[in-house]
Amino acid sequence: MAIGKRVALVTGASTGIGKATAIRLAREPGTELVLVARREELLRELAESLPCRATFVAVDLTEEEAPGRVRTHLEAEHGGALHLLVNNAGAAWRAEFAEGGYDNVRRHMELNFDAVVRLTAELLPLLRKAAPSAIVNLASTAGRVSRARTGAYSASKFALIGWSDSLYAEEKPHGVHVGLVMPGFIRTEGFPATELREKALTRWIVSEPEKVAEAVYECGPGGKAERYVPRPYGLAAISRILFPSLTRRVLTGGPASSLTTSTGGE
């Protein structure tokens, strides 16, 4: 039996989690990939290395015309088909609110939330048309539990999680599944996590992009609701609800109190 074409689009695909996700999805028979990020050279190299057809769009997703450019590319190069949208592009900039103020919150929301919503809105008609299809939003454990100097990043990820839950309920009748992946500390280009990986006590809390990529597959084509990577990070979210005072005390100190997570790849 012939395997039908399945088009997947991955943002933040040039490095880190996005690149690992593209490599993972390329293993699936019939897959065509659209790689989206800012750095054209890295996208070209990745596209040429994959075992499936892969095209790319070099664009800053915060730009006003970005969603339209991506849709135009899909229509021109892939017949307007889209079966999986992986919203991975994101970034983090550490700062206390008294230092970074609203400007730091704004730039987090602009990339980590607003750009995701705008792109999804542009591509949702294609996903509905191709149903059954899926959206996977890369949030973060920081979208469940917040720490000092990461408030702006956490705010953008809290927003993404809340919106994703609502979108899941709205799009289920249309055959579009919405999954969430919440990485903790992941070793990427922007966050090598050297300090954490060098200590036996904290080494376990750092995972690899390839494990997040597998979680993306599980929450997209696999139909799962959400995944934490590493899995034990889910306990932090539970503790935040059941033991809020204790959780706050723990997160105020400890070896990871001054670090932040990132979904990686723009």
Under a CB-based contact definition with an 8 Å cutoff, are residues 110 and 229 in contact? Answer: no
- Among the listed residues 102, 153, 217, 233, the single catalytic one is 153
Is residue 153 annotated as a catalytic residue, yes or no? yes
* 209 prior amide bond cis, ω within 30: no
Q: Which residue is it, tokens 């899909």?
A: 74
Check: CB of residue 154 under 8 Å from CB of residue 105: no
Do 5 and 81 form a contact (C-beta atoms < 8 A)? yes
| CA distance linking residue 161 with residue 158, whole number of Å | 5
> Under 8 Å CB-to-CB from 37, ≥6 apart: which residues?
11, 12, 13, 14, 15, 18, 43, 56, 58, 89, 265, 266
What's the start-to-end Cα distance of the chain, in Å?
A: 38
Active-site positions? 153
